[in-house]
Amino acid sequence: MVGPGDDAAVISAADGRVVATTDLLIENRHFRRDWSSATDVGRKAAATNFSDIVAMGARPTALLVGFGTPPDLNLAWVDDLTAGLREECGQVGAAVVGGDVVAADVITLGVTALGDLEGRDPVLLDGARPGDVVAFVGRLGYAAAGYAILSRGFRSPVQLVNAHRRPEPPYAQGPAAADQGASAMTDVSDGLVADLGHIAEASGVRIDIHARAVPVPLKMREVGAALNVDPLSWVFTGGDDFALVATFPAGTTPPDGWTIIGAVADGQGVRVDGHRWPNGGHEHFR
Amino acid sequence: MVGPGDDAAVISAADGRVVATTDLLIENRHFRRDWSSATDVGRKAAATNFSDIVAMGARPTALLVGFGTPPDLNLAWVDDLTAGLREECGQVGAAVVGGDVVAADVITLGVTALGDLEGRDPVLLDGARPGDVVAFVGRLGYAAAGYAILSRGFRSPVQLVNAHRRPEPPYAQGPAAADQGASAMTDVSDGLVADLGHIAEASGVRIDIHARAVPVPLKMREVGAALNVDPLSWVFTGGDDFALVATFPAGTTPPDGWTIIGAVADGQGVRVDGHRWPNGGHEHFR
């Protein structure tokens, strides 16, 4: 309703509530200019935040971007960054409504996304109950495999490398899962085991995962063999693909595209085929 | 309605619209740890954003904080920062609803504030019309004088030094000015002349300021004499006090506490006693 250029933006919130999340992304910690283009950085910065919005069951509406830039940064890089932010906004029907530009030693992005629940109850971390099924949608481990490939100086297979550069979160599935009655939901940004752990802890339940139900693509197995890494570590602990994982009460059906991978039980923590995942799954690939 | 700890926060927006603004603050560029306490930094970071919200005529409701921290930062510093953010929230009845913590080389704050128009029309930059009066409320030049004092290695007078460390924006006056029919409004963050310039440009008008109507406190005159600086440069070009400046249609009266300092006319730009201010008033003290 009021976009960039005034003291603040004004955004419609017809629902009477607004969903908001913020992330800070810093060069050489969250992205590298030699691994990702400016457009990639813009898309991923927006995706990181939109993913949190849809994980509440909301539709992203607006993006605000605080941009810290070294004084010698190429103007074309800034244009491409902006293009990437706008492209990702286009994926969800949101708009960049405000921002701030300051000088910084390294490229710094403070990104905030807003969203509209459109009348839905927000889907929180604490709603999982024993008997619920656990399901996910989106990609698991792709970005982590891509990061591992880039870290070792390789540039292919491009499908996995690009997954690190430019996630493709299943945005429409967040509101769809809420409509379908999801009892708890989060996006996979810390890794499947770690993020399910957040649901288990907040809900006071145990989550059992059946490893065989979790897909490991052939390409990822091949790369794992070549790099001497167990590809399951990418699938179970890799973040940055921004898959969605949710619990659904028994008797409800996850939306099309979701894969059931386990169940909620009494107890605590996350078990994969009955065992704890080493290190609790807390492995950050960002 | 949903605070920190989930994927995103949910904030009431009963008005059906939400006001949003974001700022990035970086150590040694926007604040110095040897000049400002952690509590000061937290209060100023929140104040910078709340000031933009009230300059739209809205009431601040929520704050989100992305926090980049060096790994060796003292935990007490973080506690004090948080206390400062919460204290400033307390000034306006807002709450810290979300955030993100990442590693960074220098302390980095990505701060986003949300606000509620409570049924008011937002007061924009582009509504000033010839014949309107120009008025301000709050402090002008105090923070800039304090910055000049600290820059020269002094620590007093404490009233001015503290104005740099911890602004006291006249929060309640933003919605009050909107209720009183303000036609344009902004907060003074770049300096009185520069910020009135934003109104003049957006509104397509000229703004005439009468220098004698703008107060220069005795203490500031004394410091100016001691430092060999014209105190008018602080009053007319200093930011960071977050005074509010607004235009009011002829026949309306600014709320109590506002000082009329000029008038809107046909033309363009800002004139002080009929003259352009040197450098257009664009002098950043942050």
Q: Which residues from A are below 8 Å from B118, CB to CB?
A: none
Gap between the Cα atoms of B29 and B25, Å rounded: 8
B212 min Cα distance to partner chain A (Å): 28
Longest Cα–Cα distance of chain A, Å, equals 58
3-state secondary structure of A201: helix
**Which CATH number is A133-281's, of 3.90.650.10, 3.40.50.2300, 3.20.20.150, 3.40.50.300?**
3.90.650.10
For B229, counting Cβ atoms within 10 Å of its Cβ (0-12 exposed, 13-18 middle, 19+ buried), the class is middle
* pLDDT tens-digit readout, A220-244: 999 999 999 999 999 999 989 999 9
Which residue of A2, A6, A105 to mutate against B (max B Cβ within 10 Å)?
A6
Q: Dihedral, CA atoms, B26, B32, B37, B40, nearest 10 degrees? A: -50
Mean pLDDT estimate for chain A: 95
Yes or no: is domain A19-116 CATH 3.30.1330.10?
Answer: yes
Burial pattern B13-51, b for ≥16 Cβ within 10 A else e, equals: bebebbbbbbbbbbbebbbeeebbbbbbbbbbbbbbbbb
3-state secondary structure of A244: strand
Q: Dihedral, CA atoms, A7, B57, B46, A2, nearest 10 degrees? A: -40
Nearest residue in chain B measured CA to CA from A28? B104
* pLDDT tens-digit readout, A24-70: 999 999 999 999 999 999 999 999 999 999 999 999 999 999 999 99
pLDDT averaged per 10 residues, chain B (length 286)? 93 96 96 95 97 98 97 95 98 96 96 98 98 98 95 93 95 98 97 97 98 95 95 94 97 96 97 86 42
Which residue of B2, B6, B201 to mutate against A (max A Cβ within 10 Å)?
B6
pTM for the whole structure: 0.94
Enumerate the domain spans of chain B: 19-116, 133-281
What are the residue ranges in chain A where pLDDT is below 70? 279-286
Q: Which residues from B are below 8 Å from A284, CB to CB?
A: none
B20 min Cα distance to partner chain A (Å): 5
Q: Which residues from B are below 8 Å from A105, CB to CB?
A: 105-106
Residue A125 contacts residue A198 (beta carbons within 8 Å): yes
B244 min Cα distance to partner chain A (Å): 11
Q: Do B21 and A98 touch (CB under 8 A)?
A: yes
pLDDT score at B278: 82
Interface size, chain A vs chain B, as Cβ–Cβ contacts under 8 Å: 204
* pLDDT tens-digit readout, B37-73: 999 999 999 999 999 999 999 999 999 999 999 999 9
Residue A145 contacts residue A241 (beta carbons within 8 Å): no
pLDDT score at A284: 39
Q: Do B108 and A55 touch (CB under 8 A)?
A: no
Tokens of A175: 């509101």
Of A7, A22, A56, the CB nearest to B21: A7
Gap between the Cα atoms of B224 and B234, Å rounded: 9
Q: Do B100 and A22 touch (CB under 8 A)?
A: yes
Tokens of A235: 């699938």
Given the cut 0.90, state whether the ipTM is greater than it.
Answer: yes
pLDDT score at A131: 98
pLDDT score at B43: 97
Confirm or reject contact between A112 and chain B (CB < 8 A): yes
How many Cα atoms are found within 13 Å in the side-chain-facing hemisphere of B201? 10
A59 min Cα distance to partner chain B (Å): 12
The length of chain A is 286
Tokens of B201: 């440009």
